[in-house]
């Protein structure tokens, strides 16, 4: 099972899981995000990579608030890399990976799937605490105490993070080598009315830099 | 903040939190459960106990499946206590407390609330793995690695389980001593069309036994 956002990281992680021989169950969340275009991207990626199932779970994180991605807070634009790394930005969604991994854990138990892939990386990231290796290990330990199948010994959950030590450029090179079509993916936090990537949110800036450093043409059409 | 289901346990935990001087933020989930009457009970309890806010978060756990509470699987009836304790029943919802606590963690960060109350107990319970102390401690450790406020040192999350060592009868006595009106609460997994408790699911049987052993009249109207 893989948490898929339709972005570069989860798509590359999905391609890696497939290359390792895993059957793919793709899990995406409709959580009231501004960038609902990612739901379409996630579906297209699941189809392109031959997923056995693609499940979209609705959860109303907007009711909880606290993020520029779900509430009416402006998405930061045109920030330098040092500015991005100096503080956790307003695009941080409280406990997002924890909520997503918890739902993945529930589906994993239903499917009897032991391997949960998540495309976090702790290098070219936006400073989110729930992308760090120590967080992932703590989640995995908790997961194996949380569910019936783990307690009964029939399922041992492993949280797999194949990208955790990779740079964005390294991720793109790895995916390109596996034949990933990145034109299917979406990264922008705040696409325009025509669905075009804005080009200057943190996520667009990291995406542009990744393709540039990987020496691979960026297939994205940016508004700016 | 307290996870509230409108049942005996979470309502008693809420009364205990209030008696300890906490301001109450009540969090309830609309997760596609069969027993939607619990949503009404949770709201009535929050009003009765003077909660500052009562938030209902919608999450489509029915899409994930795997439980008699959200899918079309029969709820067990008329089971003996030893049968209840011999195996984790089909009313188990995969990773439910993990999903609920994860959402609570998100709201806690938004509110800057450190204390998350959950009315789990490891004595008169239905054998759910996510009610055990070792699970709760693992969740707490993970939570303090997961969120920005914990990593930045402004919030240290504590998962509070005031009922964890109490019997159902002890819980009812403690709540009664604090003035809890248990007629507001609901326990039944499968109420009838008129909203009456069935009287013979595991949850009704544990409720009846709790009142009987506490020596306190059960205000519930049972169909059977």
The pLDDT tens digits of the residues spanning B23-36 come to 999 999 998 776 67
Distance of CA B129 to the CA centre of its chain: 14
Report DSSP state, residue B190. S
Instruction: Report if residue B207 sits inside a domain.
Output: yes
Q: Mutation test of the interface with chain A: which of B143, B146, B149, B155, choosing the one with the most A Cβ atoms within 10 A?
A: B146
Q: How far does the CA of residue B114 sit from the closest CA of chain A (Å)?
A: 14
pLDDT at B71 over 80: no
pLDDT at B54 over 70: yes
Instruction: Report if residue A223 sits inside a domain.
Output: no
B189 and B203 Cβ atoms separated by less than 8 Å: yes
* Cβ count near A86 (within 10 Å): 11
pLDDT at A128: 82
For chain A, how many structural domains are there in total?
Answer: 1
pTM: 0.90
Q: Distance between CA B50 and CA B33 in Å, rounded?
A: 26
Report DSSP state, residue B154. S
B59 and B103 Cβ atoms separated by less than 8 Å: yes
pLDDT at A121: 87
B66 and A109 Cβ atoms separated by less than 8 Å: yes
Higher per-residue confidence, B86 vs B99: B99
Higher per-residue confidence, B124 vs B157: B157
Interchain proximity A64–B146, CB inside 8 Å = no
Q: What is the DSSP string of A63-131?
A: GT---TTTSS-PPPBS--HHHHHHS--TT--TTHHHHHHHHHHHHHHHHT--EEE----SSSS---GGG
Name the 3-class secondary structure at B142: helix
Instruction: Report if residue B40 sits inside a domain.
Output: yes
Q: Which residue has the tokens 């009970």?
A: B41
Instruction: Report if residue A222 sits inside a domain.
Output: no
Q: How far does the CA of residue B33 sit from the closest CA of chain A (Å)?
A: 15
- Among B67, B61, B101, CA closest to A103: B61
pLDDT at A217 over 90: yes
pLDDT at B137 over 90: yes
Interchain proximity A146–B130, CB inside 8 Å = yes
Instruction: Report if residue B224 sits inside a domain.
Output: no
Mean pLDDT of chain B: 89
Of A75-84, A213-222, B38-47, B178-187, which gets the smallest average pLDDT?
A: A75-84
pLDDT at B76 over 90: no
* Cβ count near B96 (within 10 Å): 22
Share of chain A above pLDDT 70, in %: 89
* Structure token pair of residue A19: 């290359």
| A93-111 pLDDT per residue, tens | 889 999 999 999 999 999 9
Q: How far does the CA of residue A24 sit from the closest CA of chain B (Å)?
A: 16
Interchain proximity A58–B60, CB inside 8 Å = yes
pLDDT at B166 over 90: yes
| B8-21 pLDDT per residue, tens | 999 999 999 999 99
pLDDT at B101: 97
Interchain proximity A102–B106, CB inside 8 Å = no
Residue B190 backbone zone (phi > 0: left; psi -120 to 50: alpha; other: beta): beta
For the segment A191-203, the average pLDDT, to the nearest whole number, is 86
Interchain proximity B95–A105, CB inside 8 Å = yes
Q: Residue B89, class by beta-carbon neighbours within 10 Å (0-12 exposed, 13-18 middle, 19+ buried)?
A: buried
Structural domain for B43, as ranges: 2-214
Q: Distance between CA A81 and CA A203 in Å, rounded?
A: 11
Q: Which residues of A touch B99 (CB under 8 A)?
A: 99, 102-103, 106
Q: Which residue has the tokens 């699987």?
A: B73
Interchain proximity A95–B105, CB inside 8 Å = yes
Q: Mutation test of the interface with chain A: which of B138, B141, B143, B149, choosing the one with the most A Cβ atoms within 10 A?
A: B138
Instruction: Report if residue A220 sits inside a domain.
Output: no
Instruction: Report if residue A122 sits inside a domain.
Output: yes
pLDDT at A87: 61
For the segment B111-139, the average pLDDT, to the nearest whole number, is 88
Chain B residue with minimum CA distance to A94: B106
Q: Mutation test of the interface with chain A: which of B30, B57, B102, B112, choosing the one with the most A Cβ atoms within 10 A?
A: B102
For the segment B48-67, the average pLDDT, to the nearest whole number, is 89
For the segment B173-198, the average pLDDT, to the nearest whole number, is 91
Of A12-26, A85-99, B99-113, which gets the smallest average pLDDT?
A: A85-99
The model's confidence at residue B69, banded by pLDDT at 50, 70 and 90, is: low
* Structure token pair of residue A125: 């990231």
Q: How far does the CA of residue B68 sit from the closest CA of chain A (Å)?
A: 12
Q: Residues for chain A: how many in total?
A: 224
Output the CA torsion sign for B128, B146, A20, A5. positive
| A40-67 pLDDT per residue, tens | 999 999 999 999 999 999 998 888 877 6
pLDDT at A114 over 80: yes
Interchain proximity B107–A99, CB inside 8 Å = no
For the segment A26-44, the average pLDDT, to the nearest whole number, is 87
- Among B151, B220, B186, CA closest to B5: B186
For the segment A199-213, the average pLDDT, to the nearest whole number, is 91
Name the 3-class secondary structure at B166: coil
pLDDT at A38: 86
Partners of residue A115 on adjacent β-strands: A158
pLDDT at B87: 61
pLDDT at A62: 84
Share of chain B above pLDDT 70, in %: 90
Q: Which residue has the tokens 């069969």?
A: B34
Higher per-residue confidence, B62 vs B45: B45
Under 8 Å CB-to-CB from B27, ≥6 apart: which residues?
A: B1, B2, B3, B4, B55, B57, B100, B103, B104, B107
Of chain A residues 71-100, which have a CB less than 8 A from chain B? 88, 92-99
Instruction: Report if residue B222 sits inside a domain.
Output: no
| A118-128 pLDDT per residue, tens | 999 887 555 78
Share of chain A above pLDDT 90, in %: 68
A17 and A158 Cβ atoms separated by less than 8 Å: no
B170 and B17 Cβ atoms separated by less than 8 Å: no
pLDDT at A189: 82
Output the CA torsion sign for B64, B67, B68, B70. negative
* Cβ count near A66 (within 10 Å): 21
pLDDT at A194: 81
pLDDT at B196: 87
Name the 3-class secondary structure at A37: helix
Distances from the Cα of B67 to the Cα of A116, B32, B81, B214, angstroms: 21, 11, 20, 31
Interchain proximity B147–A132, CB inside 8 Å = no
CATH code for position A144 = 3.40.50.620
* Cβ count near A12 (within 10 Å): 27
Q: Residue B215, class by beta-carbon neighbours within 10 Å (0-12 exposed, 13-18 middle, 19+ buried)?
A: exposed
pLDDT at B40: 92
* DSSP run (H or E) holding A43: helix A37-48
């Amino acid at each position: 099972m893989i948490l898929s956002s339709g972005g570069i990281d989860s798509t590359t992680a999905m391609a890696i899981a497939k290359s390792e021989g895993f059957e793919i169950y793709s899990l995406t969340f409709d959580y009231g995000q501004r960038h609902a275009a990612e739901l379409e991207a996630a579906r297209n990626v699941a189809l392109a990579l031959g997923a056995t199932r693609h499940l979209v779970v609705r959860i109303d994180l907007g009711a909880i608030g606290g993020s520029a991605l779900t509430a009416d807070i402006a998405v930061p634009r045109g920030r330098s890399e040092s500015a991005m790394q100096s503080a956790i930005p307003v695009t941080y969604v409280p406990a997002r990976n924890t909520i997503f991994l918890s739902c993945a854990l529930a589906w994993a138990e239903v499917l009897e799937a032991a391997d949960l892939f998540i495309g976090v990386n702790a290098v070219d990231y936006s400073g989110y605490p729930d992308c760090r290796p120590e967080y992932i290990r703590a989640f995995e330990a908790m997961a194996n105490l949380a569910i019936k199948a783990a307690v009964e010994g029939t399922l041992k959950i492993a949280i797999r993070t194949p990208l955790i030590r990779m740079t964005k450029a390294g991720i793109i090179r790895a995916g390109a080598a596996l034949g990933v079509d990145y034109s299917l993916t979406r990264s922008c936090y705040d696409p325009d009315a025509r669905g075009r990537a804005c080009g200057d949110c943190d996520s667009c800036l990291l995406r542009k830099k990744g393709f540039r450093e990987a020496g691979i043409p960026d297939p994205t059409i940016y508004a700016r």
